[in-house]
Amino acid sequence: MPELAEVEWFRKQWDAGRGGEIVDLSLHARNRVFRGENVQELRKRLIGAKLLHSSARGKRMLFKFSGDNWLGIHLGMTGKIRVESANYRPANHDHLVLFQRDRALVFTDSRQFGRVRFHHGVDEPDWWRSETPEINSSKFDQKFVDQFLDRHWKAPIKAALLMQSGFPGIGNWMADEILWRAKVLPSRRIRKLTARERAAILRATKFVVRRSLETLGQDFSDPPRNWLIHQKWKRSGICPIHRTPVRHATVAGRTTAWCPRCQK
Ligand SMILES: [Zn+2]
């Protein structure tokens, strides 16, 4: 499932079409990705509009078009965004294709857990607003993290890291990477964390997000070689620090990897 850095990379794919007018579009009106949306209005308003700019927030993206039109995309499990040539013929899973004179902007999603939303209005859509600060902003600080963790004091720390209302954009692999760096077991109960461990979790979260955006988010290149992610899915995966075999179990409903020597 795409997490923050992958989402950022996908968002930028449509930058090629900035300033370009939508001259036609193709969509699968009855597909699940459009649940609850007025696709007639989307079609009517987007044709003739220009793509202006976009932004990402956690795992969500927002594309602004001229004429006060907004398109929100959530990639879900298997959603992807890419650019094709102007004479592209949409395939089965290309649920939304925006044609410009020189290219086609494609949203594809084989498993349809993604979502496309449309809004027409001067202000950004209600569904885009969020009380949760972005991790790479200064508002995402120890005070915010502590208050969030205190509200979920019964949960294992891995579960809290997966909550988008606290750690927007973090998913399964980033959560494991963060806890490995912070030297905290994924199954540790939040109420048992020390102030030092909470500080380590905040530090590791900021670091993993920043370095992921610099690698994956820039050009889809791999995170640094010495990260846990490269070992996580291997049967014989080892801790990048001292080569202890990595352990696996289900924590918070997700396959989780950790180093029994690093993490307590
Ligand atoms: Zn280790």
pLDDT tens figures, 84-119: 999 999 999 999 999 999 999 999 999 999 999 999
pLDDT of residue 234: 85
Predicted TM-score (pTM) of the model is 0.93
pLDDT of residue 17: 98
Half-sphere exposure of 139 (CA within 13 A, CB side): 8
CA separation for the pair 116, 125 (Å, rounded): 13
Distances (CA, A) of 121 to 64, 124, 126, 255: 11, 7, 10, 42
3 state SS of 103: strand
**How far away, in angstroms, is 188 Cα from ligand 1 center?**
17
Question: Which residues are registered as beta bridge partners of 99?
Answer: 24, 104
Q: What does DSSP assign to residue 183?
A: T
**How far away, in angstroms, is 37 Cα from ligand 1 center?**
48
pLDDT digits (tens, 9 = 90+) for 238-257: 999 989 999 999 999 999 99
- Residue 84 belongs to what H/E stretch? strand 79-85
**How far away, in angstroms, is 240 Cα from ligand 1 center?**
7
pLDDT of residue 107: 98
**How far away, in angstroms, is 261 Cα from ligand 1 center?**
5
**How far away, in angstroms, is 232 Cα from ligand 1 center?**
12
pLDDT of residue 232: 86
pLDDT of residue 233: 85
Question: Which residues are registered as beta bridge partners of 135?
Answer: none
**How far away, in angstroms, is 142 Cα from ligand 1 center?**
26
What strands, in cross-sheet order, belong to the sheet with 94-99? 24-27, 94-99, 103-109, 79-85
**How far away, in angstroms, is 133 Cα from ligand 1 center?**
31
CA separation for the pair 44, 46 (Å, rounded): 6
Q: Which residues of the chain have pLDDT under 70?
A: none
Dihedrals φ, ψ of 168, to 5°?
-65, 125
pLDDT of residue 127: 95
